[in-house]
Amino acid sequence: MTHATYVQDYTAIVEVLNQYNEGGKQANSSIMKPAFNAQATIFGVDGDNALVGGPIQGLFDTIDTAFRPSPDARAAIARIDIVGTAASARIDTDGISGYRFTDFFNLLKVDGRWTVVSKIYHTHPAA
């Protein structure tokens, strides 16, 4: 029996996060949807400092209706922290449909596959 190493897990998590990034760049939720568990959630704070979010479908709906393709968007995976079957990650993105975001993801390794179970985000003020 072989066991995944953290190098293998790290590589698998990067692949999951890249699905998210590419879906955002193309403004196409069908590209990012496989990165998320069906029970995943998304939360953030709006301009009135109120909590907004809920089921991950809200992200998919926003990507498909309010975002536009952003081929010049740049994203950096700032960190990935892995312990056993749990992980967290941070992505900083510039120029995605005119916005700058910092996203925090919680991932779990379910049935041998990494999946995002929650996302929280910060929208940076326009420069």
Per the structure, how many domains does the chain have? Answer: 1
For 63, the enclosing helix (H) or strand (E) is helix 57-66
Task: Give the CA angle between residues 9, 106, 7 to the nearest 5°.
Answer: 15
Is 44 part of any domain? yes
Q: What is the pTM of this model?
A: 0.93
Is 28 part of any domain? yes
User: In this structure, what token pair is assigned to residue 15?
Assistant: 């692949």
**pLDDT tens per residue across all 127 residues of the chain:** 467 789 999 999 999 999 999 999 999 999 999 999 999 999 999 989 999 999 999 999 999 999 999 999 999 999 999 999 999 999 999 999 999 999 999 999 999 999 999 999 999 987 6
Which CATH number goes with the domain that contains 62?
3.10.450.50
The boundaries of the domain holding residue 87 are 6-123
- The separation between CA 29 and the C-alpha centre of its own chain, rounded to angstroms, equals 11
- Report the alpha-carbon distance of residue 62 to residue 67 in Å, rounded: 7
Is 73 part of any domain? yes
Is 1 part of any domain? no
